[in-house]
Amino acid sequence: MTARAGPTLLALSPSALADRPEATLRDLGATLEPDAVSVLGPSRDPQAFARARRAFDAPVVHPPLESGRGPLSTLALDTADETLGVSVAPDSRALRATPETVADELAASTPCVLVCDDVTTSVRPTALETTLEHADALASALPRDRVTTVLTGSEPAGYDELWHLASETGTVRAVDHDPFVACRSTNEDAVSVRLRGVGPVEGYGESTGVALVTLGGDGVERIETYDVTDFGLEAVSGIGPKTAARLADLGVRTRMELLETPTETLADLPGVGRGRARTLHQHARVLETGEPRRLTDESLPGENWSTPPLCLDIETDGLSPTIIWQVGVYDPATDEYRAFVERTDPSDPGSVLEAFCDWLLGIHPDRALLTWNGWRFDYRHLGAFIAKHVPYYADEWEAIPKFDLYLWAVGDDNAMLPGRTNALADVASALGYEDAGTGLDGARTAAAYQQFVRTGEALEWDRHEAYCEDDCRALWHVYERLRDGPRADSTASNTASDRSSEPSVESTDVPASGSSGRRRGPTSGDARNANERSEQTEQTGLGDF
Amino acid sequence: MSNHRSTDPTDVPITGDDLLETFPRYRDAEDVTVLELPGREAATVPPATVLRPELAASLEEALYTHQAEALEALAREENVCVATSTSSGKTRIYALQIARHVLEARARGEESTAYLLYPTKALSRDQERSLNDFFDTLDLEITVRVYDGDTEYGENRRRIREEADVIITNFAGVNTYLHDHDRWARFLSACDLLVIDESHTYTGVHGMHVAWIVRRLKRVLSYYDADPRYVLTSATIGNPGEHSEALIDEPVTVIDDDGSPTGPRELVVWNPPPRARQDGADDRDDWSQVSGRTDSTAESADDSAERVTEADADAVLERVPATVEAPRVLSHLAYHDAQTLLFTPSRKLAELSVKRAAKFRGDNRRTYVNPDRGSAIEPYHAGHSRRQRHGTEHQLKTGVLDGVASTNALELGIDVGEMDATVQLGYPGQRQSFWQQIGRAGRGAKRALSVLVAEHRTLDQYVVSHPDYLLEADVEDAVVDVENDAVFAQHVRCAADELALSEDDAGSFADRERLERAVEMWRRAGQLTGALETGVSYAGPPRPQQSISLYATAGEEYEVRLADGVDEGHDPEMEPLARERVLRDFHEGAVRLHGGQQYEVVAVDHGSPRPSVTVQPTNVDYYTRTRTDVTVLDAVSEESREIGDFTLHFGRGRVLVYHGTYDEVGIHDGTTKSRAIPTENPPLSMETQLCWLEVPKRLERGLVEKYREFSLPDLEDGLAETAHLGYAGGLHAAEHAIIGVAPLELMVDKRDLGGLATLSIDSHLDQDAGGDARDGPSGIGPDGSDDAPRNIAAAEATVREIAMDLEREPASGWFVYDGIEGGLGFARAIYDNYEAVAERARELIAGCDCGTVGGCPACVMDDQCGNDNQPLHREAAVDVLDQLLGDADETALEPYLPDEEYGGDRRPPLFYA
């Protein structure tokens, strides 16, 4: 895992725990190494709580069942360096009961973090209004003139808004957006609540349910999400709950045990077969060793070219961009990185693109480009923006060969990758890439740029450029590891065709949608759309996939 | 094309009078009216006056004046709405405009594309064919392709997007495709024309979604620097210009001066004969098409049962259903060589009508001595395969068929040639629909015959007593409301997903204040990021477009499913239902009649993401009637006006509706078999739009006295003898009638309206108006859906409490509200047209021949009444409406007014839904 600064709290939704083999939870614990675990409310689920207590070594809390001496209990997070406490309220009623006690306890605590799972927002579209439920309880019990971070399982991970409440009434004074850019309390009368979601994120009929909260400074440094099926046997592509249960009957509960089970045995399982048994082994090995594996003889995109492709990454001001303000290109041939950044006139989306196209078409007219999931984001938006803002380059841009490593590896089943998710940062990190530790992600850098556009205050340009460069270099790192990694051996040389000719077993059993960006095809709604290939993945976050 | 070659307009197979003379069995002359409609000569201009020479030259026929007028307006870069009759060549207008654009663009070496939006997939396919044929005859290489849910995925779709000149789809498709607009860049960039065909079909909830999808499409088009013109084609509606402008948010030139020819027409309004049998209690709008549920019971109602004695005829409580009578007329006309199209309200009835037509022949051998004559009659509806439908269409055109019984699938646009006659099974509910259907009859300049067979229900019986209504120049207004914030908010998410929302959208997509509030709401909810000045992106769960339900406001649309193991042939094929409808009509245990088949609701799943209602066919001798508690809370007047001494308000408020129990009512005798069975429904709380009328005090006092003797001994609540009961019954009856006749003036579905008559309007108003109205006096929190369950009874109690505490004497009157979260604009339209609607209501009540105080289902009874249609008082209702309309002398009630100023009893806080 990436190095982390502070102690961590693992937030688990009860649905992620239900019917989950204990071995999976153990793998989850062993992989994420949380310092404490919270089984999310607001509903009581003693069974889920019991499961978690059995599976994890770290202290486990289930807020709805907490009723200690005071209104709050403290969850201690012990690390080698320090011990921090997180306050836990069973629900907002507990805050109302003795607000002064709560305020005193919180005021004395650092960091100032409260878990309260029934705090949530609700939307009233007929009034075009979003209300904060239990705002009055928060206003009465939280310390003033200071920002309290409230973690709630009732909002999805990724929810992050700063609510300023009148301390007497709980009336909403203002709501600051993007508190990760700037987070201050307003004045002495106000109670400032930075509400952060740790609940499941809704995907295509799937939800993540695992959030790892890293504490730091006076609150929460970051929150990462995972799908519980990224762990244990189910992390192996092709193993869903049904197959996992059958394997458990054979005494196979971990990936190591899977690898120790002969493929012949696996092949006898209903709906597995020889080809698939081999694939299960291969993927389990990839996950266990951290070594990628090529499944076919297919060469990497651009592998046979005389010069390698240029690794490309863009930064925008949002998922529906109005400007592509940074284009980063890493040239593996010369180990040079080039960034095109709009630092002065954000109202002009054309000049960065023009500079980029001048350079690309003038200096490297015969190179190919490489991205990570670029067809859903980088290529898509570059194409649209070039057509609109530098139309004289549109045809040349269209003609440039464009490759996508994610599509080649995952979409076309040419390789198996280690990493909990298929997000570039996860894959690269699993393959030993050490990033520059900018602490940024796509959403942050977009929000920061929006801030620059609004206020004219300069960004930390170096940091944001380093973030983009990181992704370009990480992409090449993954490429090299795949290029140099073991090829499909002769016995498995036709694995791909084997697989495709096999009946698709447990078709619902593909790994569920991943965390922070990895999304499979839609499983609800107009599912037929999934037949259009590039719709099989969906960019839902600004991070490179 | 026609198999009738004669050009003599009078040489027709059968006239209206012939029909009356030859149709077997007794008819009361009063039950039938024959109206004469004159014909119209064609008005044409040579194509060369409007079109460029190469187009004009390849066009064989002259242009009708309205076609030329529309093409001229388009040449001036105007948007047009063409609202002319059926078969007046509306398609040709935009086909020629496409040809113009393509020729001009190609001359410049560019492309020109057109986006065509049709309401049904069947129509899309039909028009794809005829447009391709038309461009062939013009010798133009213009590719027209359908792109919708039935289009093969993958390469085929990509080719259409990248190559077609004209793409035909529907609004559900556009809603989805906007997510990937970059794939449509070629097509959208070149788009010069956007066509909304049969635009009058977009009203109510569906209409407002369409209006927002058009606005989203416009943003994307403008992103690609496309600025297309719009052509809307519409049936004749009252407000084509206003309606079109509401849909597309652009000025529109209306073309409604029809230059196409039409022959004279005879219109026969046919009320089926009365019958004595008491087995038609289930006459509840469209669920009640067949009162006898099976063929045998329906047919056994014939003959003896149909005839009533003269003495009974004054008070007609029941008539032979149109479902039985209309197929007979079809059969009769076909026998007399008139190729006839029967319009039925459902697929099942289309099938059933064909059988009944044949049986009628067989049962009347003496009249129909040659039973095989004119007996080639087939059903037609969207449930048939495309191939089968094309076969039927072709056989109609070529004269092989003598008759067809069809759903409204043949009402919209599909080319089947022209008939000799049409028959309508029941009034189709709207004049525009009525005209669209009868427009199918009439071969060139020859006489056409159209027969409307009335049902025994409000609108039909109104038409029977006021046949001139059909001929009035005004047709209903189509209502599209873009003020509903619940719908707006959903489209804001989609718009941000498609292209960042920015300053450019303030004032164009929505006004700034509203847009900012919506953006702020979603930002606080974590679903949008960014600000308008820099660009707002969508950050919620993937593909917000998929959460749009085109038939519901709050995104909750219930799919109607058939229970497991039931033959798919029984699939009711109903459109998805809004939550509000499900709670009222589709609770577990409900028995609904749909398409002549009884269905029982066996399961209701309210859970997201895909709520559903499961039904299975059944055959029981009862139907179900929901008992409803309704109350209005916290109404705030936003606008008001005086009508005489009355005050009319429009505003917003909360309506609490609780369909808590239901009764099982015998079909044959109307008796309640089981009472107050719990529905297990949650209550419903809606923030919606309302209008309400305050009756002047003086009138109220007079009417209370005039009807103080009225009592209903079996009325619950111990209020049977209260002095105000007669007057309250009058308000209640007037409220029902207003809602019942609203569809005569406006294109509204009365099931989307609700009402509440009350003796204390004030206690339903926000007591704290001007202050923060969020928390009503009942303590119902902002999120009513959660709190309402505990509070419906409390809410009613609160209303009564407020009534008792009011400092001034409250006004009485009634509310009419939109029964959909956020409102539909219907209450608003009624507010704007109140006098016209009230006039119709008065005519309906006064003209009904039921002869009872409490009315009948054809006048003031309403199957949706939560109070079991009690109390109702027709006479008192007429008195109120007379005063409202200024038709009665103000002094008419003098004799009843009590001497002292505040005489009379203390009013009870009565209110009736």
Cβ of B526 and A159 within 8 Å? yes
Distance from CA of B112 to the nearest CA of A (A): 18
Q: So what's the pLDDT on residue B435? A: 85
* Residue A329 buriedness (CB in 10 A; 0-12 / 13-18 / 19+): buried
Looking at residue B583, its pLDDT comes to 85
How many angstroms away from the CA of A447 is the closest CA of chain B?
7
What value does the mean pLDDT take over residues B521-544?
93
* Contacts with A156 from chain B: Cβ below 8 Å: 526
**CA A188 to centroid of chain Cα atoms:** 36
**Domain spans of chain A?**
9-230, 232-291+487-514, 310-484
**Interface mutation vs chain A, best among B537, B634, B783, most A CBs within 10 Å:** B537
- Edge-first strand order for the sheet with A172-176 is A73-78, A83-88, A113-115, A147-156, A190-199, A160-166, A172-176
Straight-line distance from the first to the last Cα atom of chain A, in angstroms, rounded to the nearest whole number: 17
State residue B669's pLDDT score: 63
Q: Domain check: are B67 and B183 in the same one? A: yes
User: Residue B10 falls within a domain, yes or no?
Assistant: no
**Does residue B379 fall inside a structural domain?**
yes
**Nearest-CA distance A218 → chain B (Å):** 23
Is B244 inside any structural domain? yes
User: H-helix or E-strand containing B777?
Assistant: none
Average pLDDT over residues B504-523: 96
Contact by Cβ (8 Å): B231, B74:
yes
**Yes or no, beta carbons of B554 and A125 under 8 Å apart:** yes
Q: pLDDT confidence of B441, banded at 50, 70, 90?
A: confident
* Nearest Cα residue in chain B from A517: B542
| Mean pLDDT, range B237-259, rounded to an integer | 94
A481-485, B214-218, B471-475, range with the lowest pLDDT: B471-475
Strands B377-380 and B403-406: parallel
Q: CATH number, domain at B103?
A: 3.40.50.300
Q: Which CATH number belongs to the domain containing residue B529 in this structure? A: 1.10.10
Q: Enter the tokens of residue A83.
A: 């011990």
Same domain, B217 and B362: no
Residue-wise pLDDT for B700-757, tens only, equals 988 998 898 888 776 666 566 677 889 999 999 999 999 989 888 887 877 788 999 9
Question: Looking at the domain assignment, is residue B5 inside a domain?
Answer: no
Q: Do B611 and B646 share a domain, yes or no?
A: no
Determine, for residues B537 and A121 on separate chains, whether the beta-carbon distance falls below 8 Å.
Answer: no
> In chain B, what is the straight-line distance between the N-terminal and C-terminal CA atoms, in Å?
55
Q: Give B-chain residues touching A317 at CB under 8 angstroms.
A: 500, 530, 534-535
CA distance A65 to chain B (A): 24
Same domain? B732 vs B837: yes
Of B488, B525, B542, the CB nearest to A540: B542
Question: Distance from B581 to chain A by nearest Cα, in Å?
Answer: 19
A201 contact partners, CB below 8 Å, separation of at least 6: A156, A157, A158, A207, A208, A225, A515, B541
Which pLDDT belongs to residue B799? 75
Q: What is the dihedral of CA B742, B746, B748, B751, to 10 degrees?
A: 0
Please list, in sequence order, all residues whose beta carbon lies within 8 angstroms of the beta carbon of residue B807, skipping any fewer than 6 positions away.
Answer: none
Same domain, B278 and B238: no
Q: Is residue B46 part of a domain?
A: no
Beta bridge partners of A341: A326
- The predicted pLDDT at position A514 comes to 32
Whether residues B611 and B633 fall in one domain:
no
| CA nearest to A526 within chain B | B546
Torsion sign (Cα): A473, A478, A479, A484:
positive
Once rounded to an integer, what is the mean pLDDT over residues B167-195?
96
Please tell me the predicted confidence (pLDDT) of residue A362. Answer: 94
pLDDT greater than 80 at residue B4: no
B146 contacts: CB under 8 Å, gap ≥ 6 = B121, B124, B125, B128, B167, B168, B169
Among B425, B452, B475, the domain boundary falls at B475
pLDDT band at B565; cut points 50, 70, 90: confident
B900 pLDDT tier (thresholds 50, 70, 90)? low
Average pLDDT over residues B822-847: 91
Grade residue B905 by pLDDT with cuts at 50, 70 and 90.
low
- Say what the pLDDT of residue A499 is: 38
The answer to whether residue B224 is domain-embedded is: yes
Query: Is B7 domain-assigned?
Result: no
| Positive or negative torsion for Cα A32, A36, A41, A45 | positive
Cβ count near B143 (within 10 Å): 15
Q: Using CA atoms, how far apart are residues B160 and B362, in angstroms rounded to an integer?
A: 53
Say yes or no to pLDDT of B282 above 70: no
Residue of B nearest to A388 (CA): B224
Question: Residue ranges of chain A with pLDDT lower than 70?
Answer: 1-5, 68-69, 203-208, 488-545
Same domain, B32 and B60: no
Q: Where residue B596 falls among pLDDT bands split at 50, 70, 90?
A: low
What is chain B's mean pLDDT, rounded?
83
User: Taking CB atoms and an 8 Å limit, are A121 and B502 in contact across chains?
Assistant: no
pLDDT for position A513: 33
Inter-chain touch A160–B526, beta carbons under 8 Å? yes
Dihedral sign (CA A25, A31, A32, A37): positive
Enumerate the residues of chain B whose CB falls inside 8 A of the CB of residue A450. Answer: 530-531, 534-535
Q: Which among B539, B609, B822 is the nearest to A126, CB-wise?
A: B822
User: Per-residue confidence at B254, pLDDT binned at 50, 70, 90?
Assistant: very high
Q: Tell me whether residues B489 and A128 touch, CB distance under 8 A.
A: yes
By C-alpha distance, the chain A residue nearest B182 is: A384
**What average pLDDT does range B151-169 have in this prediction?**
94
Confidence of residue B212 (pLDDT cuts 50, 70, 90): very high
Bridge partners (DSSP) of residue A88 are: A73, A115
B376: distance to nearest CA of chain A, Å? 41
Query: Does CATH number 3.30.1380 belong to domain A232-291+487-514?
Result: no
Number of domains in chain B: 5
B329 shares its domain with B458: yes
Please report which confidence band the pLDDT of residue B286 belongs to, taking 50, 70 and 90 as the band edges. Answer: very low
- How far B468 CA sits from the closest chain A CA (Å)? 42
Of chain B, the percentage scoring pLDDT greater than 70 comes to 87
For residue B123, pLDDT over 80 is answered with yes
Contact B537 A525 (CB under 8 A): no
- Residues B537, B573, single domain; the answer is no
Q: In this complex, do A129 and B538 lie within 8 Å of one another by their Cβ atoms?
A: no
| Last residue of one domain, picked from the residues B204, B233, B255 | B255
Determine the Cα–Cα distance for residues A474 and A424; give it in Å rounded to an integer: 7
The answer as to whether B96 is a domain residue is: yes
Gap between the Cα atoms of B566 and B111, Å rounded:
52
Tell me what pLDDT residue A336 has.
Answer: 95
> A312: which strand partners?
A329
* Among B441-450, B612-621, B863-872, the range of highest mean pLDDT: B612-621
Q: In Å, what is the CA distance from B494 to each residue of B35, B133, B351? A: 51, 37, 42
pLDDT tens sequence across B92-110: 999 999 999 999 999 999 9
Q: Each residue of B357-396: pLDDT tens digit?
A: 998 988 888 888 888 888 899 999 877 777 888 889 889 8
Q: What is the ipTM of this complex?
A: 0.87
For B892, the domain range is 626-912
d(CA B643, CA B886): 9
Q: Which of A202, A322, A519 sits opposite B500 (nearest CB)?
A: A322
pLDDT of residue B608: 58
Q: What is the pLDDT of residue B102?
A: 96
Secondary element (H or E) of residue A487? none
pLDDT of residue A206: 59
A384: nearest CB among B185, B539, B782: B185
Average pLDDT over residues B140-163: 94
| Smallest CA–CA distance from A381 into chain B, residue | B182
| Per-residue pLDDT at B299 exceeds 60 | no
Pick among A128, A172, A345 to test the B interface (most B CBs inside 10 A): A128
For every residue of A410-478, DSSP letters joined together read IITT-EE--SSSSSHHHHHHHTT---------HHHHHHHHHHHHHH-PPP-HHHHHHHHHHHHHHHHHH
Residue B771 scores a pLDDT above 60: no
Instruction: Give the one of A129, A322, A532 whose C-beta lies nearest to B535's C-beta.
Output: A322
Q: Which chain A residues are closer than 8 Å to B526 by Cβ? A: 121, 155-156, 158-161, 197
Say whether B223 sits in a helix, a strand or coil: helix
| Chain B CA closest to residue A174 | B524
Among 3.40.640.10, 3.10.129.10, 3.40.50.1820, 3.30.420.10, what is the CATH number of A310-484? 3.30.420.10
| Residue B743 shares a structural domain with residue B805 | yes
A244 versus B12: which is more confidently predicted? A244
Three-class SS of residue B20? helix
What's the gap in Å between the CA of B89 and the closest CA on chain A?
Answer: 36
Kindly report the nearest CA distance between residue B553 and chain A, in angstroms.
10
Whether the predicted pLDDT of B547 surpasses 70: yes
Q: In what order do the strands lie in the sheet with A36-39?
A: A60-61, A36-39, A8-12, A209-216, A219-227
Q: Which of B231, B255, B279 is the endpoint of a domain?
A: B255
